[in-house]
Amino acid sequence: MLNFNYYNPTRIIFGKDTISETGAHSARYGKKVLLHFGGGSIMKNGVYDQVMSSLSKAGLEVVALGGVVPNPRLSLVREGIAVCKRENIDLILAVGGGSVIDSAKAIAFGALLPDTQDVWDDYYMQADYEIREALPLGVVLTIPAAGSESSTGSVVTNEAKGLKRAVNSETIIPRFAIMDPQTNYTLPAYQTACGASDILAHLMERYFTVVKHNDLSDRLLESAMRNVVANAPWALRQPSEYRWRAELMWTGTIAHNNLLDKGRIGDWASHDIEHELSAAYDIAHGAGLAIVFPAWMKYVYKTDIDRFVQYATRVWDVSLPLDDKESVVMAGIERLEAFYRALGLPVRLTDAGLGAGNLDKMAKQALIVYPSLGNFQKLGADDIEKILRLAQ
Amino acid sequence: MLNFNYYNPTRIIFGKDTISETGAHSARYGKKVLLHFGGGSIMKNGVYDQVMSSLSKAGLEVVALGGVVPNPRLSLVREGIAVCKRENIDLILAVGGGSVIDSAKAIAFGALLPDTQDVWDDYYMQADYEIREALPLGVVLTIPAAGSESSTGSVVTNEAKGLKRAVNSETIIPRFAIMDPQTNYTLPAYQTACGASDILAHLMERYFTVVKHNDLSDRLLESAMRNVVANAPWALRQPSEYRWRAELMWTGTIAHNNLLDKGRIGDWASHDIEHELSAAYDIAHGAGLAIVFPAWMKYVYKTDIDRFVQYATRVWDVSLPLDDKESVVMAGIERLEAFYRALGLPVRLTDAGLGAGNLDKMAKQALIVYPSLGNFQKLGADDIEKILRLAQ
C-alpha cells in the first residue's frame, strides 16, 4: 500500500424528492447562480422546473446557460467563463450528467483565471499545472455514469482540434450533489447501459494496479463491480423501479470519489484510448469503453496474470482450475463481454459501425500530452494501435 | 434504500513517516495547539517526540494535556475545556486512539459552550441536542479501532456516576487525521485484537438492518468484514509487518466514517450494551464487544433470518444447505466466536472473569436516556438482561 492523501468534502444529498433542497444548499454560496445544463431532457422530465422553483424559493438570481453536449465542448466553456466574469456569478449549478458537470468545472476555475491564462492551453493541454482556485460548484445529478459529482476531474473536448483532455484538482470537487434516482426513470436504455459501462470502467481502472498489498481496496472494488453487474440488467428491465436506479446512482459516485483506490495507482489507459475514439467518432463514452476494455485486457494481462485471475474468480465467479491461468483469465474477459452485450453495448469497433481507417492516427494522438499511457503496463503508440486492432 | 445526507471532510494523510506533516496541517488552523494524549506509550515509541518536533518546526505554541485513559473520563474533559478557555487554544490535536480522540471531541465543543451550558448534562445525557460549533480538531492516530479519526461520534464516561454516553455531530469530525501504520508495531497483542473486534463491530452494527434494498452497502460492508477477518490474525503473528497494520488501520477508518451505511439504519444495541459492561467493569471495549455480539445475534436473528443467512454465507463462507437456515446462522455465529477466540479475546462473561451479579442493573442502566436499544430489534430491559445471560 502506498502513502496517500484523501480529501473529499462533497455533501451528498441522496434520495427521493431531494431536488427541492437545491435552493437551500445553493444559498450557502451566494446570491447569483449560473445554471448550466444540456439539452431538452431536463425540460421534458420536469427536473428543470423543480430546480428553478427551489432556487426561486431560496431567493436566488439565476443566469441560465444550456446547450452542453456529450463530450462537452470548449467553446461553451469559454462562453460560460465570459458569463461568470460579466455577471459576477457566485455559484455554478450543474444540472445533468458528467458532461454538464465537467463543463461546469472548467467554467468554475476558468472564471477565476487571470486574463493572461487560457483554460485550454494552460491547463487541459499541460501535463504539469496547478489549479489554485475555482468558483463553488453544486450539482443536481440526472445521469449516473461519470462520477463527476464528487470527483476532482473534468474532461473537455476541443472540437476545433478534435482533442479531448482531462484536468484534476481538489478545487473543482463539487461542494454538494443532489441525487434523486427517480430522475433516471426516463433515461433511454442505451444511456443507462453506457452509464453502467462507465461506472464499471472506473472500478476496473482502479483495480488493475501493479502496487501490491491493497487487500481492502481490492475487496471494495470487487464488491462495487459485482454490484454494477447485478443491478444494471435490472435497471434496463425495470427502468422505473427505484432500487435498481438507486444502486447504480450511488455506485457511480462511490466508483469515482477516489476513496476506493487509496494506496494504489490505477491504470487509465482504457479511458484515454476511448477518449480518442469518442473524439474521432463522437460515440458514447460508455460504448467506447465496452469496445476498448476487453481489447486492453487481452493485450496486457500477462503483465500480472495473477491479478487477472483474481479479477476473473472474484468478480465473475470463474471456477476453472488455477493450474490453467490463461483459461481463467479468458473466461473472465468473455463474461465481461457477455455482460456488455447483454446491456446492448458494442464490444468491437465493427459492432459500432466503425472502420479501421484512423487507428494509427488515434494511437499517435493519444500521446500528444504524455509520452505513454497506463500504469499497469506502459503503452506506446504501437501498443495502442495493436489494442485498437484487437478491438476490431 | 432510505434517503440520506453524507458529508465527511476529514483529510486523511496515510502512510509511512507521515507524522512529520503534523505541523504543516495543524498550522492551517492557528498558532496555539492543545496537545491531548493518553499515558506513556507515545513517549516510549517516539510518537510524542515526532509530533512535538513537527509542531515546533511549524512555529506552533503547544499546551500539553495528557492522562486520557480507556473509557475517557469526564473529569479530564472538564479540565481540557478550562484549559482551552484560559489559554485561547486555536486547535486541539489528539494523539492516540479512540479514547483520546473522543475526549478531544468533547473538549472541542465544550470549549465553545456558554457558561450556562454543561457538556455532560446538556449534551451527553440528552436524547435531543444540537452541537452548533466546535474548535477545529486534528488527529495523529496510533491505535486502529474506534474509527473516531473521521467520525461524528464521541463517547465519554462519567466516572462519578458510572455512566458512558455518546454524542454525534458534524461539527466534531476531525479536520485531518495523520495515520502511520508503523506506530502500531508496538501495540500489545491484546490491544491489537480489541481494535480488530471494535472495527468488526462497527461493520456488523451497520450490516444488521431491517431496511431493504441496500445492495451496494451490503457488499461493501461484507468486503470490509472479510478484510478484518483475513488480516487481523496476521497482524498478531507479524506485528511489525507493515501491510497487515496498514490494512487494519485503513479498514478501521472506512468502517466508521459513515460512508458504508448510507441508505440504511444500523443497530447499535451491542455497542450500547457493551458500554454498560465497560462502564461497570472497565474491561476493554473490544473485549466486551466479543462477549456481547454473539449473544445479541443468538437473541435477535429470528427477526430477519435471511439477513443472518446472507451474513453467514457471504462473510463466513458457510455452505450448509439453505433449507436449514437455523444451522447456517448458527454456523456463522460459531465462526465469529472462533475468530474472536483465535485473537485471544473472551466470548463469554466468564472468560473475562466477570460474574452475573449486575446483569439486571446494567440492563436497566442501558435505558436511562432512550426507552429501548437497537433498530434491527428493539430491546427493552428484559431483552438486554436475557442477552447478557446468553453471554454468560
Facing A11 at nearest CB: one of B5, B213, B262? B5
> B204 CB near a chain A CB, below 8 Å?
no
Contact A356, A281 (CB under 8 A): no
Name which of A8, A9, A223 is nearest B219 (Cβ-Cβ). A223
- Please give the Cα distance from A46 to A62 (Å, whole number): 17
User: pTM for this one?
Assistant: 0.96
Does the residue B4 lie in any domain? Answer: no
**Taking residues A359-372, what's their average pLDDT?**
87
- Mean per-residue pLDDT of chain B: 96
Is residue A236 in some structural domain? yes
Residue that terminates a domain, selected from B137, B164, B182: B182
CB distance A14–B3 less than 8 Å?
A: yes
Q: Which residues contact B36 (CB under 8 A, 6 or more apart)?
A: B65, B66, B68, B80, B92, B93, B94, B95, B96, B100, B103, B104, B107
- Helix boundaries (H) for chain B: 22-26, 41-44, 47-57, 74-87, 98-110, 189-207, 215-237, 242-254, 269-281, 285-300, 305-316, 325-342, 359-365, 381-390
* Alpha-carbon gap, residue B99 to A138, rounded angstroms: 36
ipTM: 0.95
Residues B152 and B221 grouped into a single domain: no
Give the CATH number for residue B343: 1.20.1090.10
Contacts of residue A78, Cβ cutoff 8 Å, sequence gap at least 6: A110, A119
Tens of pLDDT, residues B276-330: 888 888 788 999 999 999 999 999 999 999 999 999 999 999 999 999 999 999 9
Q: Do residues B382 and B388 touch, judged by C-beta distance below 8 A?
A: no
Are A245 and A171 in the same domain? no
Share of chain B above pLDDT 90, in %: 90
Instruction: Output the nine-digit C-alpha cell for B282.
Output: 472497565
In a domain, A5, yes or no: no
| Same domain for B313 and B276 | yes
Can you give the pLDDT at residue B281?
Answer: 84
pLDDT band at B358; cut points 50, 70, 90? confident
Both B310 and B329 in one domain: the answer is yes
Stated length of chain B: 392
Q: What is the pLDDT of residue A130?
A: 97
Selected for mutation to probe chain A from B4, B7, B219 (highest A CB count within 10 Å) is: B219
Domain contains B2: no
How do beta strands B32-37 and B61-65 pair? Answer: parallel
Q: Which of A119, A154, A182 is the last residue of a domain?
A: A182
Taking the Cβ of residue A319 and every Cβ of chain B, the question of whether any pair is shorter than 8 Å is answered with: no
A9 close to B (CB below 8 A): yes
Please answer yes or no on whether A5 and B16 come within 8 Å at the CB atom: no
Tell me the pLDDT band of A71, cut-offs 50, 70 and 90.
Answer: confident
Same domain, yes or no: B248 and B280: yes
Give the minimum alpha-carbon distance from A109 to chain B in angstroms, rounded to a whole number. 21
Listed range (A84-98, A151-165, A302-316, B231-245) with the worst mean pLDDT: A151-165
User: In this structure, are A141 and A211 located in the same domain?
Assistant: no
Cell (9 digits) for A228: 454494477
Q: Is residue B329 part of a domain?
A: yes
Number of domains in chain A: 2
- The mean pLDDT of A137-160, rounded to a whole number, is 96
Residue A138: the pLDDT is 98
CATH at B63 = 3.40.50.1970
**Gyration radius from chain A CA atoms:** 20
Q: Domain range holding A288?
A: 189-390
Rounded CA separation A285/A282 (Å): 8
Q: What pLDDT shows up at residue B40?
A: 82
pLDDT at residue A282 is higher than 80: no
pLDDT band at A183 (very low <50, low <70, confident <90, very high): very high
Residue at B18 is within a domain = yes
Q: Are residues A199 and A255 in the same domain?
A: yes
Residue B181 class from Cβ within 10 Å (0-12 exposed, 13-18 middle, 19+ buried)? buried
Is residue B171 one of the residues assigned to a domain? yes
Structural domain ending residue among the three candidates A161, A182, A203: A182
Does the pLDDT of residue A162 top 90, yes or no?
no
Q: At residue B38, does pLDDT exceed 80?
A: yes
The reply to whether B265 and B370 lie within a common domain is yes
Task: For A328, list phi and psi in degrees, rounded to 5.
Answer: -60, -50
CA-wise closest residue to B177 among B104, B70, B271: B104
Whether residues B202 and B128 share a domain: the answer is no
The β-bridge partners of B373 are B379
- At residue A269, the pLDDT reads 95
pLDDT digits (tens, 9 = 90+) for B142-166: 999 999 999 999 999 999 998 889 9
Directed axis angle between helix A215-237 and helix B215-237, to 10°?
Answer: 170
Look at phi and psi of residue B96 and say left if phi exceeds 0, alpha if psi is from -120 to 50, else beta.
left
Mark whether A160 and A209 lie in a shared domain: no
In-domain check, residue A1: no
A352 and A299 fall within a common domain: yes
Q: In what order do the strands lie in the sheet with A4-6?
A: A4-6, B11-14, B176-179, B137-141, B91-96, B32-37, B61-65
Do A304 and A315 contact (CB within 8 A), yes or no? no
Same domain, yes or no, for B199 and B159?
no
Q: Do B5 and A16 touch (CB under 8 A)?
A: no
- The CB density around residue B306, as the number of other CB atoms within 10 Å, is 10
